[in-house]
Structure 1
Amino acid sequence: MNIVFYIIALISAIVSAAYLQLPTFILSLGYSWFHNYKIKRWIFRILSLLFFGAFIVTTHSTMAVVIGSIPILFFLVFSLVNANPKVYISLSENQIVKLRETVYTAETEVLGFADDRGNAICYPLYEMIKPRHILNDTFQEKPILVSYCMACRSAMVYNPVINGQRLHFDVLGVYRRNMVMMDRETGTIWQQGTGEAIFGQLKGSQLEIFHYQQAALSEWMKQYPNSYIAKESTEVRDGIFSKERLMKMMKITETLVAPGKTRLEGLPLREPVFGVELNGHSKAYPVSELKKKSKFVDLLGDKELRINYEPPSNFITIIDTQSGRIIPAQSHWWFGWKEFHPNTEIWKA
């Protein structure tokens, strides 16, 4: 019986250590696994200690207790630091400096946002967005959520206001090949690639997608010469790992594809695409195809769309020809888009 006590103690310690990573590979755990994860993690830690205590009482070997305690203690200590919110430090408004002059090279890749009045700001991907994953910002009194999933290269800009309440987000983990976020105000779990609340108090809510562009800084400044350029405050602390170390660790995403619920046929897994969703219809526009034909009119459901892609800058503008409204295009790797749009069409030149 004492070996059973030890096995349960060890498994509980391992679960507490890898709690937020387990749903990435064990989809049956579901979104609920993430909810109230701090409390649930403590339950596994306590279980581990209780069963290890039972093992100590029932075993007659001091050496077995000493050797057995090593992995238990390791995983329990590791569980105290292995939390994604401690690895990826989400930035808040007061940690984001907005400059008029550039501090980056012309080739720096940025994610740019412009409001209805032409006020513009851009955020560098490698220096800020990728290592942090989430920026909780405000620009010209407008709340903005800038988010990026390294697992599937999903770049999204959202309006973080739901029912009149401004929400602030942190990284939780990866589920269905895409980052999962949690808002601090209600503890609701959100899917980064769709902006949908999938578990918790705000379940069923949908973040509004803002139009954005992903381009080289020089190309963005040609379009918006008066744009602000965001820079991370020097007072921002690193997480468990430095930003440089994180970016090296994230290279695994170039080869690893986590389990999902959608078959990924249609395009190469890491084909960059612009995804469009409108009135229940979705279509992917592969960048490789857009380079062959960059200006055209297309149909999505019953909507006629005018599409203009600029290969040198990577700018894309999609306009509903009837209303004149700009339709946000979402930047993903193919498998990140396909996972949540299983019936998506694929445009070809």
Structure 2
Amino acid sequence: MPRHALARTLATTLLMCGLGAVRAEPLLNGFDLTGASVPVQAIQRGGPPKDGIPAIDRPRFVDATRARLDDDDRVLGIALGGVTRAYPVRILNWHEVVNDRFGDRAVLVSYCPLCGTGMAFEPPARTAAAGFGVSGLLYNSDVLLYDRATSSLWSQILSAAISGPLKGTRLQAVPLTHTRWADWRQRHPDTEVLSAETGFDRDYARDPYAGYGRVQQLMFDVQHRDDRFPLKEWVLGLRIDGTAKAYPFSVLDRIVGAAGEIDDTVAGQRLRIRYDRSHGTAEAFDVQGRPLAGTMAFWFAWVAFHPGTEVLRAR
């Protein structure tokens, strides 16, 4: 056999057997990004490797009287199935994911310090038992989670898998309140609180992102910017039937003052927005008073994922 024909045959054999072949699929932090639903070049390493930020898989809770929190401490609060729980941001800064259960319901609690976004979900049944972890990757400066069952990557703010076997699957949102500890404790004096006894050696009294929210700069690039509001202005973001709307705190402040409510309509659905300046929080409710799954976020993060978002304007 001629030498060039032999070389072609050997190359073909190696390719078919997977020996010595150069992998064509894009890999990052060990995740296969082939066919990702977002631009692969926009997915960035955040610094830590996969699981370098460890998820909390066996959360412990204490009652409110034993929680070592200051009134001003930020918490993510969930009331579900007769159970109320608070997840201190001072702990979530170091872990970003809590795989929790409310009775027989698995609940994924997530927090992205770079976007200010606390979001909770009921994960798909296929992923619930194994839980979720932190991939060490970012898209639009927002954490990409991964499920341990399939290694699919999930965008927190998009609330959907962007690569892997479950690509395109959406997460079911759980309403969550992002507020001060004093506010949540007053509303829910019987609340349970995530314990600092996480099984990890972290200094939860130290904020690794101290000052970040006050600096008008980003640590990682985003695909879309909009200068109508400061980068890190707080907004309440809503997605209803494919329509996105942002409620900037500065606008809410002008409309309702220190605390109050406004009625609005998004995608034909009537709703009510409740705002409280002193606790730095805003929430959405339907006409029956049931909480909606809104997302408090820095403006840059909300508009990066929702370039066509509607925005509340002062009347």
TM-score using structure 1 length: 0.70
Aligned to 1:287: 249
Aligned to 1:146: 109
After TM superposition, list the pairs within 5 Å mapping 1:219-234 onto structure 2. 219-233=183-197
Aligned to 1:191: 155
- Contact 2:146–2:154 under 8 Å retained in 1: yes
Shift of 1:98: 3.5
Aligned to 1:129: 92
After TM superposition, list the pairs within 5 Å mapping 1:175-214 onto structure 2. 175-214=139-178
- Contact 2:59–2:99 under 8 Å retained in 1: no
Structure 2 residues not aligned, in runs of 5+: 1-27, 34-38
Whole-Å separation in 2 of the counterparts to 1:186 and 1:106: 40
The count of corresponding residues between Structure 1 and Structure 2 is 277
Whole-Å separation in 2 of the counterparts to 1:307 and 1:207: 23
- 2:80 maps to 1:97: no
In structure 2, relative to structure 1, the CA distance for the partners of 1:276 and 1:167 (3 Å cut) is: farther
- Contact 2:56–2:198 under 8 Å retained in 1: no
More helix by share: 1
Shift of 1:204: 0.9
Aligned to 1:301: 267
The amino acid that maps onto 2:164 is G
Whole-Å separation in 1 of the counterparts to 2:60 and 2:177: 19
Aligned to 2:77: 112
In structure 2, relative to structure 1, the CA distance for the partners of 1:263 and 1:234 (3 Å cut) is: closer
Q: Which has the larger radius of gyration?
A: 1
In structure 2, relative to structure 1, the CA distance for the partners of 1:279 and 1:112 (3 Å cut) is: same
Whole-Å separation in 1 of the counterparts to 2:161 and 2:209: 31
Q: Percent identity?
A: 25
TM-score using structure 2 length: 0.77
Whole-Å separation in 2 of the counterparts to 1:348 and 1:168: 40
Shift of 1:337: 0.5
The amino acid that maps onto 2:185 is M
Whole-Å separation in 2 of the counterparts to 1:283 and 1:225: 32
- Contact 1:90–1:170 under 8 Å retained in 2: yes
CA distances 1:70-109 after superposition (whole Å, capped 9, x unpaired): xxxxxxxxxxx95141x311111x2433334222222222
SS in 2 for 1:275: strand
Shift of 1:258: 2.2
In structure 2, relative to structure 1, the CA distance for the partners of 1:212 and 1:165 (3 Å cut) is: closer
Aligned to 1:88: 53
Aligned to 1:335: 300
